[in-house]
Amino acid sequence: MTQPLLDVLSGHTADHPPIWFMRQAGRHLPEYLEVRASAKDFIDFCFSPDKAAEVTLQPIRRYDMDAAILFADILLVPIGLGREVKFEKGVGPILEPLTAKDISGLTVEGASDRISSVYETVAKVRAGLDNKKTLIGFCGGPWTVATYMIEGRGSPTKEVAKRFAYENPQAMSDLLEALVHSSAEYLIGQAKAGADVLKIFESWAEGLSPQLFERLVIKPTQDIVSRVRAAGVTKPIIGFPRGAGLNAIRYAHETDITAIAAGTQMPMDDFRATLPEGMPVQGNLDPLALRIGGSALYRAVERVLQDAQGGPHIFNLGHGVTPDVKIENVQAVVDHVRGKEPNYV
């Protein structure tokens, strides 16, 4: 039995594109909140295979999505590298800011082994999925993970991390190399455990000069893909350089990814015209429209479907599901994309 998502990633254009949503595994679902309440903290949640597998499967059971996205976090890799990561409610991830001197002390060898409980989650999910459903594993893009490690938390401009890249080029190169090595090993482990597709979330690709983008995003992504392929992993790789603007064109052409995800602001029809011929595109419904619902959501879904015509397309959001999204809105979009009568409220 074929998987609709894998068919599109192999270059086929479907009458009704396969659909899944970034951040679909949790937060807006009551069944997720119930499991989340049983975990000591967020990190413990991510490293508990039974709990993580359960919430990964929940959106498949409720919405019949075409793909499950592994429940984990892009900041597990720094834990493997020996850094402490905490999540504070209402704040987000908190790390001790990394200095140039700290980089030589990162525990690169065996980093992925120290977070290997995630592979057990992958295996449990794959065993629990129907054969026509796709399991997506992922890692954070090295630059995005580096910004958190350097700044200690998320920030609007990433100026501290950018300054670090300008003022400490060798230290930044060493940090990216550590992240490339550990992230590639992490993806290889997920693929071996049963992930059908791999994704690289470069969530903070915006606001970089072309020179920095090449150095901080394109080159590390090339290196991850190269290492994964050298290990004999042939599974499709989706790249998501969120907010990269025109830099995304070079990303698509130069990183050897299989498919590219488009952020909310990217005009899908114009974007497709700039990509390698036949490259599948994922995206890019506005998450705000999903929150609003009603006629605004209907029009937004129609526009994405229209603009993405003309090539392989995976329907998704331009970013991720937020905790306040209504279950009825998600179900309406799934029905709409599949050609059923949607109930927009």
Closest CA to 314 of 1, 16, 2, 3: 16
DSSP for residue 198: E
Does residue 49 form part of some domain? Answer: yes
DSSP for residue 215: I
Element (H, E) at 282: strand 281-285
How many DSSP H helices and E strands does the chain contain?
Answer: 16, 9
Does residue 105 form part of some domain? Answer: yes
pLDDT in tens, 181-234: 999 999 999 999 999 999 999 999 999 999 999 999 999 999 999 999 999 999
Domain that holds residue 130: 41-279
Residue 119 appears among annotated catalytic residues = no
Mean pLDDT of the 280-292 span: 98
Q: Which of 7, 36, 62, 229 is catalytic?
A: 36
Residue 250 appears among annotated catalytic residues = no
Cα separation, 24 vs 22, whole angstroms = 5
pLDDT in tens, 57-109: 999 999 999 999 999 999 999 999 999 999 998 888 999 999 999 999 999 99
Residue 186 appears among annotated catalytic residues = no
Does residue 333 form part of some domain? Answer: no
Q: Which of 32, 66, 73, 223 is catalytic?
A: 73
DSSP for residue 217: I
**How many domains would you assign to the chain?**
1
Contact 125, 56 (CB under 8 A): yes
Does residue 274 form part of some domain? Answer: yes
Q: Which of 148, 196, 272, 286 is catalytic?
A: 148
Cα separation, 302 vs 265, whole angstroms = 16
Q: Residue 148 maps to which CATH number?
A: 3.20.20.210
Q: Give the DSSP letter string of 153-178.
A: S--SS-HHHHHHHHH-HHHHHHHHHH
Does the pLDDT of residue 111 top 80, yes or no? yes
Does residue 27 form part of some domain? Answer: no
Residue 27 appears among annotated catalytic residues = yes
Residue 23 appears among annotated catalytic residues = yes
Does residue 162 form part of some domain? Answer: yes
Residue 316 forms beta bridges with which residues? 284
Does residue 103 form part of some domain? Answer: yes
Residue 1 pLDDT: 60
Residue 239 forms beta bridges with which residues? 200, 260
